[in-house]
Amino acid sequence: MANYTRFSAWKRFLAGREYQTDNPFERQPLGLAPVFLYSESTSPLPSASTAGVWLAYPSPQKLAAHLRFGLLPLEFSIWLCRDEWDSTPEEPKIAEMIFEGAQTVNNRYVQDIPLMKKVIAELDVALKTVDDTDAWRRVQKGCRTFNSRWESTPTWNFVHKPLRGFKALVKDMTVRASVDEEHTEQIKALATTELSDPKAQRKLKALLKEAVVC
């Protein structure tokens, strides 16, 4: 099994994929204590289009790994204008390589790199600890730090909201008006079933793919 606490495993997983946000844990059983992530981005004017999705993970450590090696490097690349200075901007790279490239060309947003490093530091602890409670606390702190800077900016907006358990997931879905009510009701119904049932898990993951905020 690939070791997704290392970037080398992510690089192999993401190689040739259309979407650098793909989740390698998608096919793994969720277990009895799943965690979720609401991830949203809004592009600058004039389009100002919003895309939000919910992702599911078997543990907070795996959520942390996806943020650390998948989701955040893509957003850091956007913020640091990687396509302006990197000849292969579509190539998966670890956050540290993106920081180094931006600093080499003195990108106009390099002042945000220390905060990015703080977020990464929290996730590094979270993905390696065996204590689920500590991992969850670190994920929450990392996301709070990230959101405090990028939830509302004059250009790109990025938000990552970790959710622990079905109740938190359903509550989050119900407050987002653009989500189809039918999807929310079906997920509520699933919450009353036995999550260890593989069929229920597959149905949940399928519903989350359809429940997109836009």
Segment 85-123, tens digit of pLDDT: 999 999 999 999 999 999 999 999 999 999 999 999 999
Q: Within 10 A of 113 (CB to CB), how many other CB atoms are there?
A: 20
| Coil, strand or helix at 94 | coil
User: What per-residue confidence (pLDDT) applies to 46?
Assistant: 84
pTM of the model: 0.93
Half-sphere exposure of 176 (CA within 13 A, CB side): 22
Q: Within 10 A of 52 (CB to CB), how many other CB atoms are there?
A: 18
Cis before 46 (ω within 30): yes
